[in-house]
């Protein structure tokens, strides 16, 4: 039995915390500097070709993970310009009398941090320049780490969510009572119309067990259907965790007709989502309270306060990240 437990535990942990990596996206802007137009076009074509051998090339800066930027300058220009000299003089110590200078830089799109530099010097474009350029691109791209594929709500437009729920209820009337044995389930769809905000509409069913007294004929069981509508705020403190505090209102009615629940309830909660496979493992605690009195008709009126603890799975569709790859 113990061995079975450890096997199940191992696979569960692997499922939740397994890392997947995606293709790196490189943006190559036009070559900068005051070099000749033909040379700029040559370097742009070559570094784009070489980079495409290893990673995906994208058309816009915002679509990329890294920027591969080239600059062409003449050595004389650098020495005659104070700003350029302060910027590039430390890279010219191995120029060996060459007339032109080509700098290749790799930077992070989000932080703008330069994480790699390579340089070559030349008098004219020939086969040796092409050979060294190939080595430069290979060397500089080796600085790129693997990028973990993020799987979180603000990367998708639409999510479907299925939860099993424990729904203990407190009934406030002349004598306060509680029932801890109510259970149910919830299905919902969630639309992330902003990176930091979403709207969720669902349907949930749960037991309602009102005990008026200890006598068996004074216990009333019902099945309640709720249609909750909530507004959520999206926070992602770490790669594998998404936090969504929310509030909303639900419409309630009885499926068995045993009780007459309050038509509307107000609720607040905090949904925690842990990356798991193609979706998220969800833990969803919620507090709900009726906005008016509920009743067992001709028997008792009461107000319900409910704790709903949901555990389920959420899966997303339609990626928000509409990137254009390649040419």
On whether both 112 and 125 belong to a single domain, the answer is yes
Name the pairing type of β-strands 219-233 and 241-254: antiparallel
Domain count, the chain: 2
Q: Model confidence at 15, in pLDDT bands (50, 70, 90)?
A: very low
Q: Model confidence at 211, in pLDDT bands (50, 70, 90)?
A: confident
* pLDDT mean over 144-153: 60
Q: What is the DSSP letter of 181?
A: -
* pLDDT mean over 227-252: 91
Gap between the Cα atoms of 118 and 193, Å rounded: 42
On whether both 168 and 312 belong to a single domain, the answer is yes
Angle CA(100)–CA(39)–CA(86) in degrees, nearest 5? 40
On whether both 142 and 157 belong to a single domain, the answer is no
Residue 325 lies in a domain: no
Q: What is the pLDDT of residues 20-35, one digit of tens each?
A: 566 788 999 999 987 7
Which residue range is the domain that position 122 belongs to? Answer: 21-148
Residue 15 lies in a domain: no
Q: Other C-beta atoms within 10 Å of 303: how many?
A: 15
* pLDDT mean over 53-82: 84
Gap between the Cα atoms of 280 and 76, Å rounded: 58
Mean pLDDT (the chain) is: 81
Q: Model confidence at 324, in pLDDT bands (50, 70, 90)?
A: very low
pTM (2 decimals)? 0.54
Query: What are the phi and psi torsion angles at 322 (to 5°)?
Result: -90, 80
Q: What is the pLDDT of residues 251-301, one digit of tens each?
A: 998 998 888 899 999 999 999 998 887 788 999 999 999 999 888 877 888
Residue found by looking up tokens 């036009």 in the block: 30
Residue 92 lies in a domain: yes
Gap between the Cα atoms of 234 and 158, Å rounded: 14
Q: What is the pLDDT at residue 16? A: 44
Domain boundary among 93, 126, 148: 148
On whether both 182 and 58 belong to a single domain, the answer is no
Q: Model confidence at 245, in pLDDT bands (50, 70, 90)?
A: very high
Contact status, residue 28 vs residue 68, Cβ threshold 8 Å: yes
Instruction: Provide the CATH number for the domain around residue 124.
Output: 3.40.50.10070
On whether both 96 and 166 belong to a single domain, the answer is no
On whether both 97 and 181 belong to a single domain, the answer is no
Domain boundary among 124, 148, 172: 148
On whether both 56 and 104 belong to a single domain, the answer is yes
Asked if the model's pLDDT at residue 177 lies above 90, the reply is: no
Please list the alpha-helical segments (H only) found in the chain.
Answer: 2-17, 37-52, 75-80, 82-88, 127-141
If you write DSSP's letter for every residue of 175-199 in order, what string do you get? S-EEE---EEEEEEEEEEEETTEEE
């Amino acid at each position: 039995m113990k061995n079975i437990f450890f096997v199940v535990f191992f696979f569960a942990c692997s499922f939740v915390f397994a890392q997947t990596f995606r293709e790196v996206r490189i943006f190559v802007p036009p070559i900068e500097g005051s070099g000749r137009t033909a040379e700029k076009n040559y370097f742009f074509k070559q570094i784009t070709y070489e980079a495409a051998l290893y990673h995906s090339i994208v058309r816009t800066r915002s679509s990329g993970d890294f920027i591969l930027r080239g600059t062409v300058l003449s050595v004389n220009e650098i020495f005659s310009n104070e700003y350029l000299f302060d910027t590039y003089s430390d890279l010219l110590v191995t120029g060996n009398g060459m007339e032109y200078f080509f700098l290749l830089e790799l930077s992070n799109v989000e932080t703008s941090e330069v994480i790699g530099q390579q340089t070559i010097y030349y008098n004219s474009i020939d086969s040796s320049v092409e050979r060294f350029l190939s080595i430069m691109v290979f060397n500089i791209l080796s600085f790129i780490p693997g990028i973990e594929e993020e799987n979180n709500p603000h990367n998708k437009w639409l999510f479907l969510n299925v939860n099993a729920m424990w729904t203990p209820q407190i009934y406030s009337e002349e004598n306060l009572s509680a029932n801890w044995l109510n259970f149910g389930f919830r299905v919902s769809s969630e639309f992330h119309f902003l990176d930091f905000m979403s709207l969720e509409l669902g349907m949930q069913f749960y037991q309602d067990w009102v005990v008026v007294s200890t006598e068996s004929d004074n216990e009333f069981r019902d099945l309640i259907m709720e249609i909750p509508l909530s507004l959520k705020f999206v926070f992602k403190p770490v790669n594998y965790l998404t936090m969504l505090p929310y509030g909303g209102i639900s419409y309630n009615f009885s499926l068995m007709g045993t009780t007459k629940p309050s038509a509307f309830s107000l609720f607040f909660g905090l949904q925690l989502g842990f990356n798991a496979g193609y979706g998220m493992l969800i833990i969803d605690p919620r507090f709900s309270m009726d906005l008016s009195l509920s009743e067992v008709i001709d028997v008792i009126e009461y107000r319900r306060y409910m704790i709903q603890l949901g555990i389920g799975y959420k899966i997303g569709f339609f990626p928000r990240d509409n990137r254009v790859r390649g040419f």
